[in-house]
Amino acid sequence: MSSIIPIEHSLILAFLLFFIGAAGVLIRRNLITVLMSIELMLNSANLLFVAASRQVGNVDGQVMMSFVVVIAACEAAIGLAMVIAIFRRYGNIKTEFLRALRG
């Protein structure tokens, strides 16, 4: 049991991944990159779940993680479909063109 990675390491990694993802969502202008960044954020959450599950000795976190992976897959599929639809409609996938909700 002593050879396992301490929980702090996973925590730090998860935080890093999360903030990289968040920064990607906020900064990048390409929709594909934005989608990838969102995946990154989801995966950081997954990492936390797994780490916590291991720490507590309870499989609930791992169950949750597999849910998230499935949902993330769906989300990626739908997201990419939408990106393609947007590309077809506007001819590019830059976020600054998607401002129809402006008040």
Partner 1 sequence: MIWMVLAFPLLGALLNGFLLPRRSKFLSHGVAVAAVGSAFLCACSVFLDFFAARRPQLHFGFEWLRAGKFVAPFELAVDQLSGLMILIITGIGTLIHIYAGGYMKEEETTYRFFAYLNLFIFMMLLLVLGNNLLVMFVGWEGVGLCSYLLIGYWFQEEANAKAGMKAFLVNRIGDIGFLIGIFLTFRHFGTVSFTELSSWINLMTTLPDPYPKAIFWITLSFFIGACGKSAQLPLYVWLPDAMAGPTPVSALIHAATMVTAGIFMMTRMSFFYYAAPDTMLIVAFVGAFTALFAATIALVQTDIKKVLAYSTVSQLGYMVLACGVGAFDAGVFHLLTHACFKALLFLGAGSVIFAMHHEQDMRRMGGLRKHLPITHAVMLIGVLAIIGVPGFSGFFSKDEILWKAFIFPTYGPILWGVGFLAAGCTAFYMVRLLCLTFYGPSYQDPHAHHHHHEPHETPWYMWAPLVILAFLSVAVGYLGVPDFLAHLVGGRNLFASYLEGLVYIPTSARSAWTHLHAEHAHSLEWGLMLTSVAWVTLAAGTAVFCYVNRPVRGIAGFLGAHFPRVHQLLLDKYRVDECYQQKIVTPLAEISTFLWQLFDVRILNGCVNWVGYLLMGTSGIASFRMTGSLHRYGFWVLAGTVGILVFSCF
Residues forming the site for partner 1 (CB under 8 A): 22, 25-27, 34, 95-96, 98-103
- In a 10 Å sphere around its CB, with 0-12 CB exposed, 13-18 middle and 19+ buried, how is residue 20 labelled? middle
Q: 4 or 100, CB closer to partner 1? A: 100
Whether the CB-CB separation of 47 and 68 falls below 8 Å is answered with no
CA atoms within 13 A on the CB side of 15: 5
8-state DSSP, 5: P
- Nearest approach in angstroms of CB 103 to partner 1 is 3
Q: 28 or 54, CB closer to partner 1? A: 28
- Nearest approach in angstroms of CB 6 to partner 1 is 23
- Nearest approach in angstroms of CB 29 to partner 1 is 8
